[in-house]
Chain A
Amino acid sequence: MSLRRRTFLIAATAPVLAGLTVAGATRAAPQIGGPAPAFQAMDAEGHTRSLAEFAGKVVVLEWISSDCPYTAKHYNSGTMQRLQKAARKQGVVWLTLSSSAPGREDYFTPAAAKAWQAKVHSNADAILLDGDGKIGRAYGAKVTPHMFVVGRDGRLDYMGGVDDRPFADPASLKGAKPYVALALADLKAGRPVAMPVTAPYGCSIRYGSAGGFQ
């Protein structure tokens, strides 16, 4: 499919010979302590949601793919749902995002997102549909799961993996260091996050046509 899409892109471009893509407008990569990129997106229910809506709250952003064994590891075991539940109990807002482009197998239409939400019994506040990859690219989200925590002041407090076990094997969950949970605990206690940046791991996010980050 991706090849076809690319082919079609070239097909459309070659005869028209116009509107040439100019590589990468430069945007700064998100930095810990820097402002979290603002965004707006439709959720699975068809409502427009934005980061601004949750100003003054801690917001967790979680990238997922319904096709990815690493997303599956955290949902089949219930770890992610428990983390979501605990976070929301503390007043944290949990937004799950899918940045897979239309045509990719794990692309989320509102219906597909709802079906997945029901299937995994997600406890997230909302599932945001980022099919054009704008939010994903703004945050530099690379994999599923890739996690970001935005503080009450709208600054980025954490980015990286859910934990320190970059393996698909569910057995690897045992004894894992839960980075996101630790970051949320630090924020709750009013401490700076001890490990604000960790290595994300998982499946590549299947963004649409070529184009870099930031």
Chain B
Amino acid sequence: MMRFLASLLLALATALPAAALPVRHVRAELVAEAQGIAPGQTIHVARRQQIETGWHTYWRNSGDSGEATRITWALPAGWQAGEFTWPAPRKLPVGPLMNYGYEGEVLLPVAITAPANAKPGDKVSLNAKAQFLVCAEICVPEDATLALTLPVTVGPAQPDPKWAKAIAQTLAQSPKPAGLAAVFQPHGTSVALAVTGAAIKSADKAGAYFYPFDATVIDHAKPQAIERGPEGLTLTLTSGYAFQGGKAPDAMAGVLAVGGRAYEISAAPGAAPAGASGLGPPRVAGQGGADLGLATAFVFALIGGLILNLMPCVFPILAMKAASLAGHGGESAAARRQGLAFGAGSILTFLALAAALIGLKAAGSAIGWGFQLQSPPVVAILALLMLAVALNLSGLFEVGTSLQGTGTGLASRGGLAGAFFTGALAVVVAAPCTAPFMGPALGWALTQTPAAALTVFLALGIGFAAPFVLVAYAPGLLSRLPRPGVWMETFRKALAFPMYGAAAWLAWVLSQQAGAGDLAKLFGAAVLVAMAGWLFGMAQKRAATGGKPLVLDVSAGLLAALALAAVVWPQDAAELTSEAYSPARLAELRAEGRPVFVNYTAAWCVSCQVNDKVAISTGQVRSAFARHRVTYLKADWTRRDATIAAELASHGRAGVPLYLVYGVSGGDPAILPSILTPDIVVKAVEAADKPKVASP
């Protein structure tokens, strides 16, 4: 008996907090399309899910992993609930796998029917328990107890002002049969699914997709090749487990999404009708660029390339190069070779960028032009490059020439290679300026075959290189350029400033993409680059006067390498998401019986930052927080704050860091040591999540 009581207590203790816990990543509720329900009437009630950004729940077939949302009703006698009406899902690729589900807000309507003998005037409680899996990087099974009370009315009640429209819309848009004929036929490891019918005959077939109800009939992650036909389409699917067991399945049912609509289909085995194929794959329209032809895209890219010459990041380099070319007006053959080398350098660099882009796209990265600038390390490297070019223009050090020979170096033997790399460098520094101008042409190019994409990039390169090559080839133009002289030094130093500007702009871009930590790293690296430039310049001066520059050169190289490493090194983990601390929020969470981790911190507190990096923002702690549904509150004391100061004082502290863990069973928080390890945090959190059970 005692044992029975003890286990009962234990069961209660573990069950109670679970029931009181609000779900963490999904807010769920029941909403009805009408303000009441009449006897014998059927109305729709929907389970509304508001899913936290970055998380998703699943469709009836969750795909390769995951679990569909389930609901169990507890209704008064005679009341009936139907099945969910599932809105068309979204594809949610995860690594090499594919899931089907929902993000953001979704309504899952259910038909509720009142018994004929329901008494008008009564109130009916519709109770349900929903079980679902919500996933981001990790998955958390959650459940929700849902309830909705409606009055029983004499006749059909007024529509609900808030939800009638949304529920009706969801029902209208949800996939329904549309008299489509569907057959499937296995061929080796693939299955041809042919669908024909009036509803899809003239629909835009681009992006058509079949979501099977059964998780075993297709390999979800494999692409579905689309072939258009005069009466419909044929999808070539990769067969799933069901085709491996020996006998093929006798039906393939699911949802066909095509032309912005979704239809329910059920395919039987059989040969495809003639009208389901024969017109080839759909043409993919470019985003923004509509149906830009190859010729138009070529011209756009050519003009775009020309304009790029005027960009603040490019012009200084080109102007210097052109001016030095002018110095050799007499040696027109040499100038021509220089021009060609420059042209080859820039065109080949554009083509290499295009090839990288196409390769990454083929490898499955969701990238577009400007992708280089979406990557914080690349932005940081470009910022440092701009800074290095600016320092060079400011005269801190020279590139490719001795100090005395400024401008004459071009005629030297290394001149051609120098011109080639100037071309390549110009393209690399031009990259940040390309995105806004090249948008339509490049967007179009990326949806085309690799050959077409390369053609567009080729045009861009030609346009970009054209002015410089032209100057090199037209002695008349060349002679009109002013002669080099002392003015050039001044001009060059003035041109340094657009480059400093470009570096500053890139630093701002980085600050938008990454945290303050990355910006600090960039600034540190910038100081190193400047020092490297200075040492390098000194080495050059020493070499010019016959000294030994090796040590200076090596240290300059080391500093530059260090600077690069600092900005490229990937950060271990992003900071753990937290909520801002307030005593009210803490009290609320404690009342809900949830474990809470409070971090009293400040940006200027070095040990706080170290703890955050090495202990708190780690995978181990992240998953422990998720497992135990810990809310992470951050009390930021970077700025003066009387409330936080008082809190610190109440725990006997005059400053930060202070780490508190509040347990699910109330009581005083556990105070963690000021030097944290992931283990300390995980253990504290585990202890906090254990309900204290009185021993029987």
Residues of A bordering B, CB below 8 Å: 1-8, 10-15, 17, 20-23, 29, 31-32, 67-69, 103-107, 137, 142-143, 159-160, 166-169, 195-199, 201-207, 210-213
A-B contact count (CB 8 A): 160
By a CB distance below 8 angstroms, the chain A residues around B355 are 17, 20
Quick check: A142 and B570 within 8 Å, CB to CB?
no
Contact of A32 among B244, B352, B378 (CB under 8 A): B244
Say whether, besides A169-B131, A201-B67, A211 and B619 are in contact (CB < 8 Å). no
B107 to chain A, nearest CB (A): 23
Of chain A, the residue at the smallest CB distance from B217 is A199
Say whether, besides A13-B356, A20-B356, A204-B95, A7 and B363 are in contact (CB < 8 Å). no
Say whether, besides A14-B372, A166-B67, A22 and B359 are in contact (CB < 8 Å). yes
Bound CA–CA A85/B447 (angstroms): 54
Contact of A67 among B364, B371, B574, B623 (CB under 8 A): B623
By a CB distance below 8 angstroms, the chain B residues around A4 are 570-571, 573-574
Say whether, besides A2-B137, A213-B96, A199 and B65 are in contact (CB < 8 Å). no
Quick check: A23 and B376 within 8 Å, CB to CB?
no
| Interface residues of chain A: helix, strand, loop or mixed (majority) | loop
Quick check: A167 and B573 within 8 Å, CB to CB?
no
A137 to chain B, nearest CB (A): 7
By a CB distance below 8 angstroms, the chain A residues around B95 are 204-207, 210
Quick check: A160 and B622 within 8 Å, CB to CB?
no
B92 to chain A, nearest CB (A): 10
Quick check: A8 and B67 within 8 Å, CB to CB?
no
Interface size on B, residues (CB 8 A): 58
By a CB distance below 8 angstroms, the chain A residues around B356 are 13-14, 17, 20
Bound CA–CA A160/B359 (angstroms): 34
Of chain B, the residue at the smallest CB distance from A213 is B96
Most chain A beta carbons < 10 A, residue from B246, B362, B376, B377: B377
Quick check: A197 and B244 within 8 Å, CB to CB?
yes
Quick check: A197 and B363 within 8 Å, CB to CB?
no
Of chain B, the residue at the smallest CB distance from A198 is B241
B241-265 with Cβ < 8 A to chain A: 241-242, 244-246
Contact of A202 among B65, B70, B362, B363 (CB under 8 A): B65
B21 to chain A, nearest CB (A): 15
Chain A interface: which of B138-146, B291-299, B588-596? B138-146
Quick check: A203 and B139 within 8 Å, CB to CB?
yes
B582 an interface residue at 8 Å Cβ cutoff? no
Most chain B beta carbons < 10 A, residue from A7, A12, A68, A206: A7
Quick check: B623 and A68 within 8 Å, CB to CB?
no
Bound CA–CA A4/B97 (angstroms): 20
Bound CA–CA A212/B96 (angstroms): 5
Quick check: B367 and A10 within 8 Å, CB to CB?
yes
By a CB distance below 8 angstroms, the chain B residues around A32 are 244-245
Quick check: B363 and A21 within 8 Å, CB to CB?
yes
| Interface residues of chain B: helix, strand, loop or mixed (majority) | mixed
B375 an interface residue at 8 Å Cβ cutoff? yes
Quick check: A210 and B365 within 8 Å, CB to CB?
yes
By a CB distance below 8 angstroms, the chain B residues around A166 are 67
Bound CA–CA A21/B367 (angstroms): 15
A60 to chain B, nearest CB (A): 18
Bound CA–CA A88/B359 (angstroms): 47
By a CB distance below 8 angstroms, the chain B residues around A211 are 96, 363-364
Contact of A1 among B365, B568, B574 (CB under 8 A): B574
- Other A-B pairs, 18, CB within 8 Å; known A11-B377, A14-B353, A197-B241: A1-B574, A7-B376, A10-B375, A11-B375, A13-B356, A20-B359, A20-B363, A23-B363, A143-B64, A160-B241, A167-B67, A168-B67, A168-B133, A168-B141, A197-B245, A201-B65, A204-B135, A210-B96
Quick check: A105 and B620 within 8 Å, CB to CB?
yes
By a CB distance below 8 angstroms, the chain B residues around A3 are 574
B216 an interface residue at 8 Å Cβ cutoff? yes
A188 to chain B, nearest CB (A): 21
B94 an interface residue at 8 Å Cβ cutoff? yes
B221 an interface residue at 8 Å Cβ cutoff? yes
Proximity bits, B215-242, A CB within 8 Å = 1, else 0: 1100001000000000000000000011
Bound CA–CA A68/B139 (angstroms): 7
Say whether, besides A105-B137, A213-B96, A203 and B360 are in contact (CB < 8 Å). no
Of chain B, the residue at the smallest CB distance from A101 is B95
By a CB distance below 8 angstroms, the chain B residues around A68 are 139
Quick check: A14 and B375 within 8 Å, CB to CB?
yes
Bound CA–CA A23/B244 (angstroms): 26
Of chain A, the residue at the smallest CB distance from B376 is A7
Bound CA–CA A60/B611 (angstroms): 42
Proximity bits, B620-649, A CB within 8 Å = 1, else 0: 101100010000000000000000000000
B367 to chain A, nearest CB (A): 7
Bound CA–CA A123/B568 (angstroms): 43
Q: 21 A-B Cβ contacts within 8 A?
A: A1-B574, A4-B570, A4-B574, A10-B374, A12-B568, A13-B356, A20-B359, A21-B359, A21-B363, A22-B362, A69-B141, A143-B65, A167-B70, A168-B67, A168-B133, A168-B139, A197-B242, A199-B216, A202-B65, A204-B66, A204-B95
